[in-house]
Amino acid sequence: MRRARLAVLVSGRGTNLQAILDATRDPDYPAEVVVVVSDRPDAYALERARRVGVPAHVVLWSKDPEESGRRLAQVLEAHGAEWVCLAGFLRILDPRFVERYRGRILNIHPSLLPAFGGKGMYGERVHQAVLASGARESGCTVHFVTAEVDAGPVVAQARVPVLPGDTVETLAARVAEQEHRLYPEAIRRVVTGQVRFDDLVAEQRR
Ligand code: GRF
């Protein structure tokens, strides 16, 4: 079986990266991680990659988004990456980069998009907003990345209840558990062609 070549982009602790790396240990999993890239040299996720012998690179973000995107693409190309998985990557990708990898970039977001998404909605802020809204349910979403933040077609979602007495920490932990299950499964569906970007875009337009 030919395995799809993934680049994973990270900025932080990398528990989603870990879930993906764990999934790829199964020889029947249809993808492998060929490179991990962080915009932050101190991201613990880099350590997780190095531990299992996956090349780990830092691409520092400059004020020029186009140039940053070009440098990122150079690293991905050097490793023959075909798909790009954002896993807690906190930079907004330049539209030219997004176009270059059109339909081949995925992101995971810790809410049921379109609810609690968009610019500035990341990390704890998402769970804070969910709790403040009184919503009885939350979850996570894997979606294709398009130029508009958190608005690309949805590949898969998982739901969790919001429980009485939940704090940001307890809700985040419940959602994270689902993220770690959902992301490897969503990657499988996309790289095997079970879910296609163009089909989802056509559906959105209908
Ligand atoms: C996750 O909650 C993910 O949904 C969001 O950023 C967080 C990353 O966590 N995009 P980790 O670095 O994978 O542990």
Structure token digits, residue 50: 């190095």
169 shares its domain with 78: no
Considering the domain architecture, whether residues 6 and 71 belong to the same structural domain is answered as yes
Co-location of 20 and 67 in the same domain: yes
Domain boundary residue, one of 101, 121, 148: 101
The set of catalytic residues is 109
Domain carrying residue 47: 1-101
- The answer on 125 and 97 residing in a single domain is no
Mean pLDDT of each 10-residue bin along the chain, 206 residues long: 96 98 98 98 98 98 94 98 97 96 98 95 96 98 94 97 98 98 98 97 89
pLDDT score of 206: 85
**In the chain, how many domains are there?**
2
**pTM over the 0.95 mark:** yes
CA of 200 to the centre of ligand 1 (A): 24
* Per-residue confidence (pLDDT) for residue 168, from 0 to 100: 98
Measured from the Cα of 175, ligand 1's closest atom is: 2
Whether 31 and 91 share a structural domain: yes
Instruction: Assess whether 113 and 201 both reside in one domain.
Output: yes
Domain boundary among 101, 120, 144: 101
Q: Of 11, 16, 138, which is best to mutate to test ligand 1, by the most ligand atoms within 8 angstroms of its C-beta?
A: 16
The CB of 179 under 6 Å from ligand 1? The reply is yes
The encoded tokens of residue 147 equal 């130029």
Same domain as 1, residue 42: yes
Residue 155, pLDDT score: 98
The answer to whether 63 and 70 have CB atoms below 8 angstroms apart is no
**CATH code of residue 206:** 3.40.50.170
| Same-domain check for residues 82 and 129 | no
CB of 143 sitting under 6 A from ligand 1: no
